[in-house]
Structure 1
């Protein structure tokens, strides 16, 4: 863009000079035009230096040769760029000084054509004001965009931390449910069936170890100096959830229909968490013996339904159900939970069309 601007400045200055009566462009006009254009190539790095050198070149040009070309407009780009920096006051001082000298240098027109003199001085002054205001406006818009980007970044960080808090809740709830059941089994069978008690404790330990690994990767996200996140849960780990629930004494069946490969990562995580939280609630609260997990992978949505033969537990919905609903809502889906004939059901419809990542 700077190269293009420099080329336009060179062509425009030479064209205006020729149009205003200059007959020997190589004697001042073209050298000054090339000088002004070359300065524009470094205007971003050295804005005040470019402005001062441009003004100096214009002064030399007007002092060594007569030309009706203006004083301010040949340095328009330099004025605009410098006005967008913190040196805007010095830009105004330089511009007013140049404008004052222009008025003095053009005073001969007062005797022959006063209106032309007023038009010249007023036009140069108006152009200077426009350039300074434009530079200030541009600088303000840049700062506004930077603040907006910073605000968006803070919002994304807050959303990510909220998501991580949901993940932590889901992991802890599921782990406590499975481990709690296994500890109860171990306590009941410790004297009569020590081998069964030992197996229950080993399973509880395995579930605990997996949960600790997941929590470690998630807690890293909450640290200011985190370097990334661990692998996210996916549809391939649904079997592990079902196996844990079965080991805890719940008769669980998993029925999948369709192509899970079409489900994008963000929807796959939501499916996993819905199943995880629903099974955890069944183990902790529902007093259920059986549960059925049905997943339908459609071309436009995934339907997840977890049904058990329990009573759904007593009391108002907990954070788990609220977290599931927020997660599904964020993806544009719908989650319903409530009693059904013979038990309790959690159903989530999660759209996937157009969300492939």
Structure 2
């Protein structure tokens, strides 16, 4: 009967499996001989010790050929009995590990049939006790049957547990993949939204000043080109990480890049002030990226929706958290609704929530405000 090849396991798992097989082989051989000597078997070197060595040695290859190991174990026990030796531990127990291993395969029905046949044969072989001690006979046969049932049930339970573990791993893998896709979508959205907002403003400036002030139009076009080039570099870096997981790609944006965001917004005609308090160097990489993206998306929304002329970015670096607040003087009645319902604010909130923080956004008496509280304690760079 052809058996499926074993699945390749990690090295520590294979090492532990080999140790387990050796331990089971030693325990099986030693216990069989010990029980034989305890029950008065004479001349153990004649048959008992050889059978113990065979039963133990077969367990060393039980994972590769489970059915073969079971059949050879039963065959050895049968020969042991046919040569006039009484088994000191019954018929089923000496092959207990072989039965359990075979029960974990797809041939569990054959295992049950083989065990039932061996159980019937042992009941017939032990019939000479029936007339002398019926209670002993019943206990012996029932005990052998119960042990067989327990071994097969344990094998089936082990298979079910392994299947559930594999399903859990697959589910966890899918969840990680979904989280990664969501993270990538946030990154792409943040890059594109900011780029389109700045480039759109500069193109409008160029179109309006092309005839009256060609120099200003050229400057606006150069700025739009620079912003576009930076966005393309960010996208290439992100795609390279996803495709190759290489270490030679550009680093992700961090707090040192906030000045570039502010400069781009100022060049687009928005009066922006950046006020930072505390030590930004103590912020780990992941929260730093979140801070950058919150500022980037908020300024992009201000340029696209709020029709604002002024924005203030305030960042407070505390030992255990970072507070980010972006306020503008734009139209809160219409622009605020667009921002709340857009994908940008949803992405910011999900990004901050993933780090255990909170994000609030809404109209204020003077415009619109976004505030994020991002914990940094326990984060890794």
Q: TM-score, normalised by structure 1?
A: 0.92
Q: Which residues of structure 1 form unaligned runs of 5+?
A: none
**Match of residue 34 from structure 2:** 15
**Does residue 269 of structure 1 match 2:289?**
yes
Q: Which residues of 2 match residues 142-161 of structure 1 at below 5 A?
A: 142-161=162-181
Give deviations 1:130-161, integer Å, cap 9, x for gaps. 11111011101111111121112112212221
How many angstroms does 1:115 deviate by?
1.5
Partner of residue 3, structure 2 = none
TM-score with structure 2 setting the length? 0.87
Paired residues of 1:263 and 1:356 also in contact (CA < 8 A): no
Q: Which moved more, 1:97-106 or 1:332-341?
A: 332-341
Deviation at residue 219 of structure 1 after TM alignment: 5.5
1:64-75 maps to which residues of 2 (within 5 A)? 64-67=83-86, 68-75=88-95
Counterparts of residues 76-225 of structure 1 (less than 5 Å): 76-218=96-238
Q: What's 1:319 paired with? A: 343
Structure 2 partner of 1:348: 372
CA distance in 2, matches of 1:263, 1:48: 59
Q: Does 1:329 align with 2:353?
A: yes
The unaligned stretches of length 5 or more in structure 2 are: 1-19
User: The residue matched to 1:293 in structure 2 has which SS?
Assistant: strand
Residues 14 and 132 of structure 1, relative CA distance in 2, 3 Å threshold:
same
Contact persistence 1:164–1:221 (CA under 8 A): no
Distance 2:31 2:137 in 1: 23
Choose 161-170 or 335-344, whichever is displaced more: 335-344
Q: Secondary structure at the match of 1:111?
A: coil
Question: What is aligned with 1:25?
Answer: 44
- Seen in structure 2, the aligned counterparts of structure 1 residues 78 and 259 have a Cα distance that, compared at 3 Å, is farther
Listed as ranges, the matches of 1:233-244 within 5 Å are: 233-244=253-264
Q: Structure 1 residue 314: deviation in Å?
A: 5.0
What is the 5 A alignment of 1:251-330? 251-312=271-332, 313=335, 315-316=337-338, 317=340, 318-330=342-354
RMSD: 2.0
How many residue pairs align between the two structures? Answer: 354
Aligned with 1:228 (options 223, 242, 245) = 245
SS of structure 2 residue aligned to 1:71: coil
CA–CA distance in 2 between the matches of 1:245 and 1:256? 17
**Which secondary structure does the structure 1 equivalent of 2:274 belong to?**
strand
